[in-house]
Amino acid sequence: MKTFQFTVTVTQEDLDELNHVNNIRYIQWIQDIAKAHWQQIAPDAIYNSYFWVVRRHVVDYKSSALLNDRVNITTKFMDSQGATAKSIIEMHNDSTQKLLLRAETTWCLMGKETKRPTRVTKEIDEILK
């Protein structure tokens, strides 16, 4: 499975009242990495014809990230079936390598023209692997 990664630095806007990264921000980072990953791997013809929407997030919060921490975020697709595909997202503290979060997300492939679910084609399945 191909792994895609990027790193973010925690800012004041990412924090909640407990001064650690807000759970909603983690979800935003899951969305951000998924979008960046799809933009990188999908050829223009596919990217311009399809998009993904979330069907389900299962998130295990393991540890907190704090102001100025650098967070390494990785994602990889695991499998696809019908109109859905699953991905695994992990977030680690860059300096300690401590696991902050692990999530499994189920995505539904949508046709841009129809705005309806569509089966993952063999070509799309190949680029996910």
Q: Specify the pLDDT at position 2.
A: 85
Domains and CATH numbers, the chain: 4-128 (3.10.129.10)
The torsion of the CA quartet 113, 118, 56, 40, rounded to 10 degrees, works out to: -70
pTM: 0.93
Between CA 37 and CA 29, with CA 60 as vertex, the angle to 5 degrees is 30
Residues comprising the chain, all counted: 129
Calculate the average pLDDT of the chain.
96
Report the alpha-carbon distance of residue 114 to residue 50 in Å, rounded. Answer: 10
**Three-class SS of residue 6?**
strand
- Rounded to the nearest 5 percent, the helix, strand and coil shares of the chain are 25, 45, 30
**Tens digits of residue pLDDT in 11-68:** 999 999 999 999 999 999 999 999 999 999 999 999 999 999 999 999 999 999 999 9
The torsion of the CA quartet 28, 57, 125, 74, rounded to 10 degrees, works out to: 50
| Closest of 125, 32, 49, 115 to residue 85, by C-alpha | 125
